[in-house]
Every structure is written in structure tokens, then in C-alpha cells.
Structure 1
Amino acid sequence: MDVKNYKDLNVLELDTIREIGSIGTGNAATALSSMLGCEVRIDLPEVRIMGYNEAIDWIGGPEVITAGVLVHMSGELNGIMLSVQQLEFVNLVLERIMGRTVDHYKELTDLDRSALVEVGNIMISTFINALSSLADITTRLTVPAFAVDMQGAILTVPMAEFGGQSDYIMTISANFICNGRAVPCRLLLSPDIRSLNFLLKKLGVLDG
């Protein structure tokens, strides 16, 4: 029986999604290792289904300024994925790639932004590629978009696109560890409901 909403997911389906989150973030950490020039490990990721307002609070509150890299998915899986790049993560990337850090997002140069977009794109692409391989599906990704804004404003994109289908979003939280330094990683994944059902069927946890 198809799920009508994210909150309808049962224990087995949620466990499957958590496993996807673990595999996807693990692959993203491996991809970051080569880009940042240090071994990147990851602690056990936490995957949860949250309402949009709860998700905004979870990443620090609606008025906190942050950077976001957003990619649209199409093909057999439709939806969006967002990498939330808080300042601690931004400075890890900039320090490893550009040899500098910033005190505020307004100090980011065009080169800094390009580096952050590339890192966000690699993380998202690696995550989605792992998911697509696991489920044996084909997913196309758009060119990533980058924005610096209040977190509440950044999350209005998935809310506007999919709020009519569901008030919930998939959140993936983990710490990336590079040279003994742990920085939080926040990923938000929002397939539409049709895609969610298709994915669960391909993974064998939802009857066709």
C-alpha cells in the first residue's frame, strides 16, 4: 500500500531510509577526502523525518544566516536535495582549499563561493549516486544553485515545491571528522511522494 505522507512510513521503511542516509553520507565523506586533501571520516549519521518548522529549528533557527547548495532531481526520482553549510563547515572547506577562513558569509569571494558550490555538489551527487545504485534507478541532477540567506528563507524552496504534498522532509545529520576536527554536516532530502513510493518499492520494503 502506497504511503500518502512521510509520517505514514512504518518502522521498516524508516530503517531503510536511515540505511540509505548512512551509505550516502559515507560515500560523501569519501568524496570529500580527495577534495580536501585529508582523510574525512564520519560518525554515525542520524536520519529523521521532520516537519519543516522542526527542521528549521534543528539546523539552528529561522533567522540564522547560512549557506545552502540546492540541487533538483529528476528522472525516476524527483525532488530536491539541500546541503546546509554552516560557518564551521564553510571554514573547514575554505581552510583546506583556499588557505583562509572567514568570520562572516559576507566575506566570501566569488572563488570561495565556487569552492563551496563544488563541495556541496560533490556531496549531493555522491549521495544521490549511491542511492540510485542501491535502488537501481536513474536520477538526473540539475546544476547546483547557491544562496546565502536566513535558514528559514532557504527552506522555503522545498516548502513551496512540496508543501502541498507533505509537511515533512528527510533530514540527515552527521559530523565529518578531518585531522581530528569534527564539523557538523546537514543534508535535507525531499523526494516527492510518488518518488518516495517508487523508491521504497525498488528497495523491496513496499508492496508493488
Structure 2
Amino acid sequence: MTIKSYDELSSLELDTLKEIGSIGTGNAATSLSALIGKTVRIQQPEVRIMEYNEAIEWIGGPEPITAGVLVGMSGQLSGIMLSVQQLDFVNLVLESMMEKTIQDYLALQELERSALTEVGNIMISTFINALSGLAGLDIELTVPAFTVDMQGAIMAVPMAEYGGQSNYIMTIGGNFICNGKEIPCRLLLSPDIRSLNFLLRKLGV
């Protein structure tokens, strides 16, 4: 059965996507651990299909300033993936890699931005590699883009790109655990509807 929108997904299809989300975030935590030289694990992630406005509230509302790393997907799966880097996550990376922290995103210099871009890119790439391995897909990724803006503005990118096809997006969230501290992990995956149907067929659901 071909679906026309995320909200048409069956319980079996949702469970399959949740399993992918769980495996992908586990791999992302492993890659983050290797990058920062600290043990990082992730709590059981929550994978949900949300409307865009609901997803904005899920990451803390439209007005807070945050950082985001955006990567486009092409090949057998088209769409975008976004890593939302809230301040606790930013400081975990900067403290581990550069022995510094910031109080405000405006304090980010070019070197710190480059480090955060690379970390976000590697986490997304690791997630997508797990997805492509599970489904047997050939997925190409674009050069990552880093931005600092209000969360509502960052979320406007997938809305503008795919809002005409569906008002829903796949959200993957949990908390990284590092040195006994919980650090929010927020990933948003938005394949276009054609790609979503192709992915589900490749997964046998």
C-alpha cells in the first residue's frame, strides 16, 4: 500500500521506523563518544511522527535560540536530516574538544562552529549509514550547513522543503548520558513521501 502522508503510517510501519531510530541514535552516540573521547550512551530514544508545529514545541518552542546542523539526502532516499544542538550539547562538545564553554551562542567563533558542524555531520552520517545498511539503500549526503537561529526559524527549512507534501516529520529524541549528566539529543528526519514509501518497501513493511 502506498501512503500519501506520514499520518497514514500503520502501527507496523511506525514500529519499524522506531526500530531504525533506536539503532541510528545508538550509533550516533557511539560516534559522539569517539569524537569527544568520553563514554556516551543514550537513553531509549522516543521516535514519533509529529506535525511541524508540534515538533517545534517538542524541541522547546519557536523562540529559544539554538544551533542546527542540516544535511540533505539524495540517491535512493531524498530528504533532509536536522541535528538540533541545544546549549548543553554544545558545551559538552566544546569542553571535551577545546576545553571551553560558552554562555551564549553569540560567543561561538569560526573554529567552534566548524567543530560543531563536524560533530553534527558525523552523527547524522552515522545515523544514515545505519539506515542505509538496514534497508540496503544507496544514500548520498550533502555538505552540512550550520546555523544559529530561533528554533522556529530552523524548523522552517523542512517545512518549506516538504510542507507541501506532508505536515508531518519524523522526530527522534532522547538524552545522551555523559559523566552522569543528561544531555538532550534531538534529531529530525524528513524523507519525501516517495522516499518514505520506497524505504518501507525495502524494509519489507
TM range (shorter): over 0.9
Task: Show the counterpart of 1:192.
Answer: 192
How far is 1:81 from its partner? 0.0
Aligned residues: 205
Aligned CA RMSD, in angstroms, stands at 0.5
Q: Secondary structure at the match of 2:183?
A: strand
Structure 2 unaligned regions, length at least 5: none
Q: Secondary structure at the match of 2:137?
A: coil
Task: Show the counterpart of 1:170.
Answer: 170
Q: Distance in 2 between matches of 1:112 and 1:181?
A: 22
Aligned: 1:72 with 2:72? yes
- String of CA shifts for 1:132-163, please: whole Å, max 9, x gaps: 00000000000000000000100111000100
Task: Show the counterpart of 2:83.
Answer: 83
Letter of the structure 2 residue corresponding to residue 140 of structure 1: E
Task: Show the counterpart of 1:131.
Answer: 131
Q: Distance in 2 between matches of 1:34 and 1:49?
A: 30
Q: Distance in 1 between matches of 2:119 and 2:40?
A: 13
Letter of the structure 2 residue corresponding to residue 12 of structure 1: L
How far is 1:181 from its partner? 1.6
Q: Secondary structure at the match of 1:200?
A: helix
Aligned: 1:19 with 2:22? no
Give runs of aligned pairs for residues 99-114 of structure 1, distance below 5 A: 99-114=99-114
Q: Secondary structure at the match of 1:155?
A: helix
Greater alpha carbon shift after TM alignment, 174-183 vs 59-68: 174-183
Identity of aligned residues (%): 74
Moved over 6 A (4+): none
Task: Show the counterpart of 2:36.
Answer: 36
Q: Secondary structure at the match of 1:89?
A: helix
Q: Distance in 1 between matches of 2:31 and 2:87?
A: 20
Q: Distance in 2 between matches of 1:40 and 1:88?
A: 14
Task: Show the counterpart of 2:142.
Answer: 142
Q: Distance in 2 between matches of 1:171 and 1:110?
A: 29
How far is 1:174 from its partner? 1.0
TM-score of the aligned structures, taking structure 2 as reference length: 0.99
TM-score of the aligned structures, taking structure 1 as reference length: 0.98
- String of CA shifts for 1:56-112, please: whole Å, max 9, x gaps: 011011111000000000000000000000001101111101100000000011111
